[in-house]
Amino acid sequence: MTTAMNGRRVLIVEDESLVAMLLETILEDMGCIPVGPASSVDEGLTLAESETLDGALLDVNVAGVQVFPVATALRERGVPFVFSTGYGEGGLPEEWQGQPTIQKPFTEASIRDALMKAMGVSLV
């Protein structure tokens, strides 16, 4: 669908298996290569530090643990990412305010738009 995203490797950190599968499908439809999904912060951190990544989708609350160590690792590597949360951007700690954020429940378009914006990719 979105050729600008073809072949881009995007990490998924999401503990809800149905949501993770939906995200994988959305990314594949965009031409991306899903990495993961990681269902824990530890697993996400391992992938964030070891995989070649172009971007990431991070659930803020992963099995009761906040995903910010993964976000920090990605930021240190210069990998753009998008938070997903039921609370919206207003639910993020001050340090993370302004980071691209999508609110659950999300749509395929909101995922695509937020990820492309975070990664600096245009449809043209």
Number of helices and strands in the chain (H, E): 4, 7
- Is the pLDDT at 2 greater than 60? The verdict is no
pTM for this structure? 0.94
Range in 20-29, 34-43, 81-90 the model is least confident about: 81-90
List the structure tokens of 14. Answer: 């999401």
- How big, in percent rounded to 5, are the helix, strand and coil portions of the chain? 45, 25, 35
Residue 87 φ/ψ, nearest 5 degrees: -100, -5
pLDDT-derived band of residue 1, with 50, 70 and 90 as boundaries?
Answer: very low
- Is the pLDDT at 124 greater than 60? The verdict is no
Under CATH, what is the fold of the domain 3-119?
Rossmann fold (3.40.50)
pLDDT digits (tens, 9 = 90+) for 58-108: 999 999 999 999 999 999 999 999 999 988 778 899 999 999 999 988 999
